[in-house]
Amino acid sequence: SKIRYTTVQNWSKNVYNLVTKRAAAYENALVEWVDGNMGSKVTMKYPSVYLKGRGARADILSVAFASAGQIIDSGAKAVHSAPDTSSKIISKSIAIRGGQTSYRGLLHVAKGATGVKAAVRCDALLPDDLSRSDTYPYNEIHEEDATITHEAVVGKIGEEQIFYLMSRGLNESDAIHLILMGFLAEFAKELPVDYALELNRLIQLEMVGAVG
């Protein structure tokens, strides 16, 4: 069996968005979380999958976009309690105009859960010097027969990237918007078309006033 749960939230900037999202995957089941966070004053959200049957899989793809006055604390949890289970967590975050993003994740492999394969990747982009991004991964591995990978990258937008796009006729705001959408392409391609268009529109609105 397979289930995919897709959410793109854009709450008002005075909302505290505290969410619990949890799933259990049994033998050969696949759970996919596709989760976007744009709005709210504070978001705390950590989609979780409990892998309880042999061959169960979890794919978690999340995006956080924080602007001025926003704190988005998001991440994922994958709990492997059965053999031959696998999980993939990809987290992408952007903070602009003083926004703050955090990735907070848990990867747990129980004793006896042999043959587990798990990968975690956290990518953060900071277009300015006012914003902040933190990563708090926690890996708890109790089984030697497991393959675990984790990588985290924080980057900035290079002036040469902006210069190149502006030399092609874009203004600075549009150039940065194009770079941001390229950074989020891995997430956007997993969305239904109307969701992807709305994501593009929301980021474009956030860019108004962010440059200049």
pLDDT in tens, 157-208: 888 989 999 999 998 888 888 898 899 888 888 888 888 888 888 887 776 6
Region for residue 133 given its phi and psi (left: phi exceeds 0; alpha: psi -120 to 50; beta: otherwise): beta
Residue 209: pLDDT above 80? no
pTM of the model: 0.89
Helix axes 193-207, 172-183, angle to 10 degrees: 140
Residue 139: pLDDT above 50? yes
Contacting residues for 199 by C-beta, under 8 A, at least 6 apart? 8, 36, 38, 184, 187, 188, 191
Q: What local confidence, expressed as pLDDT, does residue 173 receive?
A: 83
